[in-house]
Amino acid sequence: MAIFAISDLHLPFGINKPMNVFGKAWEDYTDKLYENWNNHVTDDDTVILPGDFSWATYLEQSVADFQFLQSLPGTKIIAKGNHDYFFTTMSKMEKFLFEQGFSSVKILHNNFFLVEDTLICGSRGWDITAHGEEDEKLTHREAVRLELSIEAAKKEYPELPVLAFLHYPPIYKQNPEANNPIRDVLERYEIKHCYYGHLHAKGIENAFVGEYNGVNYQLISADYLEFMPLKIKE
Domain boundaries, the chain: 3-233
Which stretches of the chain drop beneath a pLDDT of 70?
A: 20-21
Topology classification of domain 3-233:
Purple Acid Phosphatase; chain A, domain 2 (3.60.21)
Contact 181, 146 (CB under 8 A): no
* Contacts with 169 (C-beta within 8 Å, 6 or more apart), sequence order: 125, 128, 196, 198, 199, 207, 208, 217, 219
Q: Angle 181-188/133-156 helices, nearest 10 degrees? A: 20
* Cα of 21 vs its chain's centroid, Å: 23
Please tell me the predicted confidence (pLDDT) of residue 179.
Answer: 83
In the chain, count of helices (H) and strands (E)?
5, 11
- What pTM value is reported for the model? 0.95
For residue range 203-229, what is the model confidence (pLDDT) as tens digits?
999 999 999 999 999 999 999 999 999
Burial of 152 (0-12, 13-18, 19+ CB in 10 A): middle
For residue range 172-193, what is the model confidence (pLDDT) as tens digits?
998 888 889 999 999 999 999 9
